[in-house]
Amino acid sequence: MGRMTTDLVLDQPLRPLMELVAVSLVVRGTVAIDRVGCGFDATSITGVIGLDPDDNERPTGRAALRDLVTGHALPNSGTLRFGGLRIDRLGPSARVRLGILAMRRRQLLTTGSVRDMLLAARLLVSRPTLRLVLDSGARSSEEDARDIDAILDFVEIDGLAERPVASLGGLEARLAELARCLAQRPRLLLLEHPFARLGAADREQLARLLVRLRKAALAIVVIDDDLATLGRVADRCLVFDRGRLIADATPAAIGASSRVYRLLTGSEL
Partner 1 sequence: MRMAPLLTALAPFLLLPALLAGLGHPAAPAFAGYAAGLFLLAVAALLAIGIARLPVFCLGGFAAAGAGLMPLLTLDLEWPTAAALAVTPLLGAGLGGLVRLSIRGLDAVVAAALLLALLLGLASLPAMTTEPGQTGPALDLDGWLLLPLGVTAALLLAARRFADSVIVRLHEAAVLARLPADGIGLELGTLRAVALVLAASIATLGGGVLALGPATMVGIDPADWVALSLALFAIGRLGGGRLGAALLAALPLALLPKLTVALAPQFVDLTLAAALVAIVLQLLVRADGSPAWQPPAPTLGGSLGQSRLGEQRWAE
Binding site for partner 1 (CB under 8 A): 25, 27-28, 32, 50, 53, 56-57, 59-60, 62-64, 66-67, 70-73, 91-94, 96-97, 102, 104-111, 120-121, 123-125, 129-130, 132-136, 138, 165-166, 177, 180, 184, 192-193, 223
CA gap 4, 16 in Å, rounded: 22
| Smallest separation, CB 15 to partner 1 (Å) | 25
Q: Are 80 and 73 in contact (CB under 8 A)?
A: no
How does 31-51 read in b/e, with b if 16+ C-beta sit within 10 Å? Answer: bbbbebebbbbbebbbbbbbb
CB of 85 to partner 1, least distance (A): 17
Q: For partner 1, give the closer residue by CB, 41 or 181.
A: 181
Nearer to partner 1, 41 or 237 (CB): 237
Q: How far is the CB of 6 from partner 1 (least distance, A)?
A: 37
Kindly tell me which of 104 and 232 has the beta carbon lying closer to partner 1.
Answer: 104
**Angle at CA of residue 241, ends 235 and 242, nearest 5°:** 140
**Both ends of the chain: CA-CA distance in Å?**
55
Name the minimum Å distance from CB 184 to partner 1: 6
Give me the least distance between CB of 56 and partner 1, in Å please: 5
Distance of alpha carbon 176 from alpha carbon 164, whole angstroms: 11
In the complex with partner 1, the residue whose CB is nearer, 70 or 229, is 70
How far is the CA of 28 from the CAs of 64, 66, 90, in angstroms?
A: 12, 17, 21
Question: Of 25 and 157, which CB lies nearer to partner 1 in the complex structure?
Answer: 25
What are the Cα distances from residue 52, in Å, to 26, 47, 240?
A: 20, 16, 10
